[in-house]
Amino acid sequence: MSRNKRILAAVLVCGGLVTVPISAQAAVNSNGVASIATIQDTAATAGSSVGSIETVVNGQATHLAPIAPCATAGPLQNSSGNIDAGATRYGRGTTTCAKNADGTATATATGQRFETTVLEQFGGPAIKIRTFSTKCNTTANGSSGSMELGGLTGVTVPQNIPANYTVTVPAKKAGDPPLASVIFNELIAPTPADGSLSTHTMRIKLFPQGGPGSGDIIVGTASCDPFGD
């Protein structure tokens, strides 16, 4: 059985997906969970995108604005076809944002066939995801988020992915700075906490300790704010 099949079977999720719920309303603890006081208004907002890129590698800059963004202020839905950005490719994706009748807000981004080979020239792996989804919701007490991914290759993740789980991609030569930090189930909450939350399915930070490249490749983003702008 392949590594990818072991991961998917171990979490017993239907449809061949790794499902990882996360939640945060304030200062994040070691489990990626936080809380704040009860929300007093319902001016909730939310937004999402399929992904984005902002990198420089060997002096070559790659900029890809958020793909198919949606927001509760509009557009409420968006979609994208196949996108090639140098060594990185996103397959088709969709986003949906909504304000609900109870005053809460929701944002979802889904995509397929992500692949980046940017690390191969330095002896690193190609990183691929067959399918992914990122979602957030505002709640009476803040925000919650979840992510799903299927068909991950190039790096290894545990059977249950905790918030902000980071894989370090080592350099080909021992002692050289790492090629990348790959963060899964990334949860971002402000300090001091205000109930808002952003989450990414995956973020690749190139050469986090310095080297011939820098910047981020992001896959799946959803952001929620129970207080709004």
Instruction: Tell me, yes or no, if the pTM score tops 0.85.
Output: no
Boundaries of every domain in the chain: 3-225
Per-residue pLDDT in tens (0 to 9) along the chain, 229 residues? 333 332 332 222 222 334 444 444 333 334 443 333 333 345 899 999 999 999 999 999 999 999 999 999 999 999 999 999 999 999 999 999 999 999 999 999 999 999 999 999 999 999 999 999 999 999 877 999 999 999 999 999 998 899 999 999 999 998 899 999 999 999 999 999 999 999 999 999 999 999 999 999 999 999 999 988 6
Q: What angle do CA 148, 178, 126 make, to 5 degrees?
A: 50
Closest CA to 225 of 104, 135, 102: 104
HSE-CB for 101 with a 13 A CA cutoff = 0
